[in-house]
Amino acid sequence: MQFKGGSGQGTFASLAYPEYRRLWISGLIVFMAVNAQGIARGWLAKEITGTNAGLGGVLLGFGLAMLIATPIGGVLADRMPKRRLIFIAHVLLAVSSVWIGLAIVFDVVAYWMLIASGAVQAVAFALYGPARMAFIAELVEGETMNNAIVLGQMSAESMRIVGPTTAGMAIGVATWGLQAVFLVCAALCAVATVIGLFLPPGNPDANRPSRTPLAEMRDGLAYVRGREDLRLLMACALGVVMLAYPYLAFLPTLADDIFHRGSSGYGILSACSAVGAVTAGLFTAGRGGRLEPWRLATIAGVGFGVGLLALAAAPTFAVAMIVLAAVGGSSLAFETTTQSLLLNLSDFEYHGRIQSLVMLGYSGFGIVALPLGLAADAFGLRPTLAGMGIAVLAIVAVFASRRQQILDRELLLDLG
């Protein structure tokens, strides 16, 4: 690893900061648990319902809960100690996992439990996401913040290799594998909780004005609304996440119904997407700073849309594996670049609320997953994936056009 703390150089520069390193390690463990649990929950939903709508319904519970809780999480991230919010989130994640594990052990698991467990997990992420992202800006120096954001997302994506592969194999080869995945994930969340206790408090700005939570929420919305660059980035990020990320919900169907590879195939496809994401993350962390970020966001968005179109047409399992690596890489590059731009362009006191607005896209993706699942049941998964890819390309085209208009206007002002 190239540790060059404070220099902002080197692929792993931000890990030279001990406090950020603790946050990163705890996140690594949490993301492993969450991704493994996600594989198990998706497979269990498919076993219980046998439909794409059933998979979408689990994400709907997640999405609705996140839609409600995320704005609150953003306000709390700017009002409360971030370490406390992360602790609460870890506990909720452990509870959401151990509950389903015990329900399987005692043979009382039901579909509604999966929806409720997803909702609890959504509340946890609504607290965890804004607090963790805003914490990064406090734990590293400004020049290494982009590197820290990329490595943070890489920790999530790398665990999409380890978590799904391990969970898929456990489910496929052991009669007790399903419940073991949930119970081990709960234990991992407990470990992450202990590590998180050694983080600094992450107290809010002592000089911030005293306002009600509702007033702060309105203030955050007004801040973004008043900045054309932030509005454009936010709209593009929300649109792409809502309409493209549901592809993850359909990987069980892709693996089992189209390519007939079962739960192990599901884990392999998820891992391929994550391999691409980690590869892109290493490039972005080490060399991505040399690329103009607005251009990188556009290129990555186009790659995401084209990748979904290619996935819709993939003739074999092997081709789907390659395509998913490209989809994973472009999705991570898009996500980290837009998030880094939002943090760099916005004032520190708004970081938590801005990240909560970004995370609304993930609640939207959970909500949109249900109608997309119904569309996949009615018209087929391949046409649905193709439609998602076309929608992403349309959003990115509007984004690039509007960005060029802003640049042209700024140039005219400079010349005038």
- pTM for this prediction: 0.69
State yes or no: pLDDT of 2 exceeds 50: no
Given a cut of 80, is residue 284 above it in pLDDT? Answer: no
In the predicted structure, residue 160 carries a pLDDT above the cut 80: no
4 has a pLDDT exceeding 50: no
Cα distance between residue 122 and residue 31, in whole Å: 14
Separation between Cα atoms, residue 128 and residue 120, nearest integer Å: 12
Q: 317 falls in which pLDDT band (50, 70, 90)?
A: very high
360 closest CA partner among 47, 64, 128: 64
- Going by the DSSP 8-state scheme, the letter that residue 51 receives in this structure is S
The sign of the CA dihedral 3, 158, 119, 386 is positive
- The Cα diameter of the chain in Å comes to 74
pLDDT at 370: 76
Residues 315/318/324/329 CA torsion (nearest 10 deg): -130
Cα–Cα distances in angstroms (integers) from residue 68 to residues 219, 309, 326, 343, in the given order: 18, 32, 32, 23
Distance (Å, rounded) from C-alpha 323 to C-alpha 208?
47
Closest CA to 134 of 195, 77, 67, 70: 77
Instruction: Provide DSSP, 146-194.
Output: HHHHHHHHHHHHHHHHHHHHHHHHHHHH-TTHHHHHHHHHHHHHHHHHH
Q: Which of 299, 311, 229, 240 is nearest to 273 (CA)?
A: 311
Q: What pLDDT is stored for residue 155 in this prediction?
A: 73
What pLDDT is recorded for position 342? 82
- Mean pLDDT check: name the lowest of 14-23, 206-215, 220-229, 304-313: 206-215
pLDDT tens by residue, 367-380: 777 788 888 888 99
For 108-127, what is each residue's pLDDT tens digit? 989 999 999 988 988 998 88
The arithmetic mean of pLDDT across residues 285-302, rounded, is: 76
pLDDT value, residue 318: 94
Closest by CA position to 192, among listed 19, 15, 24: 24
Topology adopted by domain 13-200+211-415:
Growth Hormone; Chain: A; (1.20.1250)
pLDDT in tens, 256-279: 889 988 777 877 887 788 788 777
